[in-house]
Structure 1
Amino acid sequence: ELLDDVEGMLRPQAEAKGLRFAIQVEGPAPAWIRADAKRLRQILINLLGNAVRFTEQGEVRLRLDFRQHVSRIEVIDTGIGIAPQDQERIFLPFERGSAGRRASETGTGLGLTITHLLTQLMGGDLSVASTPGQGSTFTVRLYLPGIPSDPTRPPLRAVALRPVIGYIAPRRTLLVVDDQPLQRQLLAGLLVPMGFVVQEAASGRECLEIVQHQLPDLVLLDITMDDLDGWQTAEMLRSLYAATQLPIVFVSANLFDQHPERMAALQCQGFVGKPVIESELLGALERALQLEWVRDNTPLSLLHKPPSGVAPYPSTLPDSLREDLIRLARQGQATALRELLSRARTELPAHTHTLHLLQACADRFDFQALADHLREPEHEPES
């Protein structure tokens, strides 16, 4: 089911560009494997999405081989390739390689970094072999033990694996406090595309100055910092604001920093380890802020349900705009689609929430989901 879900998301994107898309399983494969489904799905989507993005003709192929509980997963494309000097750097944050910088599509430069981290967290290895102008092969090796088939096992909830693209209004502002710029940027790279407003503070003292001028909805607070550490900063924040006014979620590379009694005394709402895994971070934010997530298969008609006390969003976009967006999505015109959505957000501020959610689909090249959302009948929410 996981493969079907990934194929359903990526095949339309490939075919919209005129590419062949294939999944090939070599040798016998177990009916079931034991794995972290969300992390494995994210690895596959990131690698296949990159392959489709940087391939203009030919094919994108996912090849899987399972032998003695060790899987080899290869994503093969006939795209622009990667220069030898870039093949190590592409796994570093914000590095896209010379060919990527020349490509027409832009990105945050975090996709392969996150994929590399996810692979390592699952105890695996990610490597690349590439020839400029001919294509690339990304290879993931993971220990994925086969397990016996069990007819009583409930089916995989593929819907639950759909990536989060936003949340129900109102919009939230998060303050990321970390003395390492890279760590702040990594968190911003995860959170901004989902619609969060992200502010940054490089120290505990800067954090205290910011919150007294403009109170955020939540603070993501690193523990190990120079000057004031995270615990000291949290104590000072609590002397100013109650937990109901300012939730705090700690972020730390040292899991031994998690002290439940101390966190409870400071009325902190969560702890997330580094390297930050998106599902863990979103879980902490969901609990602390009582968020209702929007996934890439959520009907737009449901997105207009306002929270208590918030005015509802308009439920329809202008017909001409809807038609243009659907046409560009069907054609796979990512750049034109993004430009149109950007202009629409400026010209139609009343529809900002809806347009932001459509933008999230476009940013992931999920043109089919974007078109499906727009084709759905939309109605005013009941009061």
Structure 2
Amino acid sequence: MLEQRKETEVAHPPMEIKFTNRLSYKQARLTVLVGFILGTLLSLLQIGIDYASEDASINREILSLLEISHNPASRIAYNIDAELAKELTQGLLRSPAIIGVKLTDNNGTVLANVKRPSVESNYRVLSDFLFGANRQFEDRLYLDHLPNESLGTLRLSVDTYPFGNRFLRRAEVTLINGFARSLLLTGILLALFYVMLTKPLARVIRELSSRDPGSTEQTALECPSGHAKDEIGVLVKVANQQFQNIATEIQQRRNAENRLTDYLGQLENIVSARTTELKSINARLSQSNEELQIARSTALDMAEARSVFLANMSHEIRTPLNGLLGMIALSLDGPLTAEQQQQLSIAHDSGKVLVELLNDILDLSKFDAGQLELEHIPFDLGALVEDTANLLSQNAAPSVELTCLIDPHFPALVLGDPTRVRQIVSNLLSNALKFTRFGRVDVRLSAFDEGVRIEVCDTGIGIPQDAQVKIFQPFTQAGAGITRQFGGTGLGLALTYNLCEAMQGRLTISSEAGFGSQFCADLPLPSHTRPMPITPLSGKIIAITSSSSGLGELLSSLLPGWGLDYQRRSIDDPMIGVEVDVLITDCPECLFNLRPTISAPILLVTAYGNFMPGEEVGALAPLQQQARPLARNALYQALKRILLPDAHTGNEASLEARSPQRRGRVLLVEDNPVNQLVAKGMLGKLGCEVTTAAHGAEALDQLELKAFDLVLMDCNMPVMDGYEASRQIRRSGRWPQLPIVALTANAMSEERERCRAAGMSDYLAKPFRREELAALLDLWIPATTAP
């Protein structure tokens, strides 16, 4: 019982509430504070009005005094009576506010001048701040019948303190009265709030604190008299309702505890049954996991088998392709008729299409297997775009103008994977050229804060909106009729889209059927080197092109930055008497009409296969021809040759004197006779002395007999393959600096790593072009200058 009483005392603390915490005090304090602020503001408003009235009364009283003294002072000044003047000034000085009077005649003679000191007081500073220390008043003296004739002046010096003191006394009384009213209001409100609010609430609190919340039998609280319908009465009603709810809830909980005891016994039985069921489920899950493990192993084996199949397929297809393309390339260099030249060129282009198709399939398989690796090296993206466009320009229709529009401020070098970027440009450009029969195809290159933007715009057939969502899927084109009319496999755009995503970039399309397409690739390729400054040129350049010509847009963006005076004219504009240093045009038909009227050199830009024959060039001389798409450096060098002929001739002579001649000895290790002939023919035309070996063991024997500058090593050969031969060459230690370049038809990414692990220095995938082989020789065989 003692512990229960202590718990009750703790649960119900004493009901004494501090005076400052009572609601009556808080309400009275808030009300009085608001009343005090409002009363103070009203008092200040009243004082302000009184201040303005008092300030005006100073001027009124002094002006009235001057008005009264005007006539006597005027007569005194007229008669020049000093005694009367002194009496008048002494009389004015009796006014409490007047501290100085000065009367002068019209000649400036002082008739009377009296002064007395100002009154000193503690309120003096405040009065001077509000009204000023003193004020000066002056009245011009004249007679009523002669108002324009000045007789003199009457000057009064007024001390504002009497007026200020009177104002400050009134303000003090006003503030004291307001403060007294606030104190009286505080007391009255405090008493009323205590009787009306605090006292009945305290009674209700005492009754609540005396109750036991755990009791199920509760009597209702009594409502204080006079408060049945206000907030206190509502509080009592709510408390009674809560007490009733608590009692009901306690009874319900006791009933629930009884039911819970019954449920516990039933729950034990249910848990036992569930445990048995879970054991059975676990056994079935274990069996399912074993089946999944078997399925996973099967999937991994199938993936490995696919990789092996792709590697074998790459090797088996590329090996005959290398021989086919190599032999055709060698045949094209020999004496052929025009028909034979055309037939072999078509066969060579068809073989290149097969290689590109094979590369696309292998790249897609790398994406699926997650094996695509990206380089991060500096390269010239502008030159890459121009080179790619130049290679693909042969695919353009005769009436299609291909133009490379590169921002003049584009970086000289960017960081990224040049091979994959070339694939993106090549696929987008090939796609545009394939579906464009008339108009223009533009490749635009620009830089932004986070990378570069490659745009390929065409005026081709366009892509309907419903087909744009599926053209990035493998083996898919806009429609079945597209494949029948234009051909293609549908791999290019899918591969391009995957490459952009692999580079953390984005490929978007904007197209409308019948109005061309615009593909935009935003790639995060950071700038590595800013644009290199070029030697400025001087001269006047006129271009004769149509308004929709891509050549005109290219020239307008480049020539002003090179220091040239550039103008564009249409074909119909007269050229008689026009002074020009170079004339640039893409209209061969208008040259014969232009040459009689202009003697300046002409630069003709046209498709590669539409060059003028020699006899026509001689008739139009001086004439130079450039193939489109016109590259920036080609245009600059052509203009430099024309505008600075002496400097260019000297440079050419020095360059020819320093032209490199290769004298390399190459060991070609290749088991395929056709590939031996292809590689040997290419190397011979590149100035190399070639020795062949059919397998790795024979290559080791050749190395013992002769010294070589480079070894071209095929990987898959009988007797001894290229991997083992390379490992033995490196282990011997006799040829540590000898470069070994792998020749393999396996284009999978792991093949390169396998070659490097075997000790090979570089890698060249079959089929390879003569340009690729020449670049490899430039890298590994030092060139010597001809004597």
Greater helix fraction, Structure 1 or Structure 2: 2
TM-score over 0.5 (shorter chain): no
TM-score normalised over the length of structure 2: 0.21
Larger RCO, structure (CA 8 Å, separation 6 or more):
1
